[in-house]
Amino acid sequence: MIYSMTGYGKGAAENGKVKTEVEVKSVNSRYLDISLKLPPSLMNKEYELRELIKGKINRGKLVVVVQVKRNGGSDEVISLNKDRLKNYISLIKEIKKVSKSSEKIKLEHLLSNKEIFETNELEFSEHEFNVLKKALDAAIAELIVMKKNEGKELANDLRKRIGIIESKLDEIERESAAGVNEYFDKLREKVQLLLGDVNLDKCRLEQELAIIADKAEITEECVRLRSHIKFFLESLQKDDEPGRKLNFICQEMNREANTISSKTVSTLITHNTVNIKEEIEKIREQIQNIE
């Protein structure tokens, strides 16, 4: 079964003292890239959170946003630095004295100086951290469900395109046998047109036919292409992480299609190989979104 790398999940958990909310967004990426947005009180838990995510997600660019509230408020405590406030008031008085100003010291003058306030983050206990982990698990579980559903749609589309490739390959194999004879007949007509009534060396023509037939033989390439198709469908169904493998198989399928196109003497086969390569390219684009 395949999973898409695109998805979204949200989870929440609380225990009466603390409420946590986690949002997880995932998009395409060659590797696993995790961006964590945490409140200051959880910075020391970043490594542990990353390891929890790595245990459940293999690939993708993830943005994880964590919000924490305590009893409806913030997990930060704001306090007043009294020493700084006294120094600030003394400085204002000194300025008034030097400037000979009679203006009274107002509250807004003091509040405008943020340095007199201190912010202390409350420590996150292990019990509270377990609440956060529940929210994270819920968000990832929702994310995985969405990735799985999108993965099913991707798989259906890939099977549809593989079916188109198989139908084109059927046409190529049917045309292959008749293609050489048709080309030879046209070649003989051209020779007769050029030479007129001159007797043709049938033995020589048969040799030319044999050479053409040998060069245009594509049975081996068709067999390998069918083998790649079979391997592709098996990987799509059975592999846990088929993304990279499917991309490699597409490269091999494209290689066989190119060889068939270069060897054939049939215009119809050439057109079919072009259609096959178009479908392979569409498949490769879709594979970029598989985990």
**Structural domains of the chain ordered from first start:** 7-74+124-148 (3.30.230), 76-121 (no CATH), 151-287 (1.20.140)
User: In percent, how much of the chain has pLDDT > 70?
Assistant: 79
Residue the block writes with tokens 């060659």: 30
70: nearest Cα among 124, 139, 118, 126: 124
Amino acid letter, residue 131: V
User: In percent, how much of the chain has pLDDT > 90?
Assistant: 41
The sign of the dihedral angle between the CA atoms of 222, 225, 231, 237 is negative
What band does 116 get if pLDDT is binned at 50, 70 and 90?
Answer: confident
What is the enclosing helix (H) or strand (E) of 9?
Answer: strand 7-14
pLDDT reading at 120 higher than 60: no
3-state SS assignment for residue 192: helix
Residue 158, Cβ neighbours under 10 Å: how many? 20
The pLDDT tens digits for 35-52 are: 999 887 788 889 999 999
- Tell me what pLDDT residue 11 has: 95
213: nearest Cα among 176, 240, 249, 188: 176
What band does 72 get if pLDDT is binned at 50, 70 and 90?
Answer: low
Residue the block writes with tokens 């007509």: 189
Instruction: Tell me the mean pLDDT in the region 208-212.
Output: 65
The pLDDT tens digits for 76-93 are: 556 677 888 888 888 888
pLDDT reading at 212 higher than 80: no
Amino acid letter, residue 16: G
Q: CA–CA separation, 244 vs 49, rounded Å?
A: 27
260: nearest Cα among 228, 227, 223: 223
pLDDT reading at 211 higher than 80: no
What band does 259 get if pLDDT is binned at 50, 70 and 90?
Answer: very high
Instruction: Specify whether the CB–CB gap between 232 and 246 falls below 8 A.
Output: yes
- The number of angstroms, rounded, from the C-alpha of 109 to the middle of its chain's C-alpha atoms is 53
- Tell me what pLDDT residue 163 has: 95
What is the enclosing helix (H) or strand (E) of 247?
Answer: helix 243-263
The pLDDT tens digits for 149-160 are: 999 999 999 999
- Tell me what pLDDT residue 78 has: 60
Mean pLDDT, the chain, integer: 83
- 148: alpha, beta or left? (left if phi > 0; alpha if psi -120 to 50): alpha
User: Residue 171 to residues 144, 161, 185: CA-CA distances in angstroms?
Assistant: 41, 16, 21
The pLDDT tens digits for 153-202 are: 999 999 999 999 999 999 998 887 666 666 666 666 666 666 665 566 66
- Tell me what pLDDT residue 184 has: 65
pTM of the full predicted structure? 0.67
Q: CA–CA separation, 284 vs 95, rounded Å?
A: 72
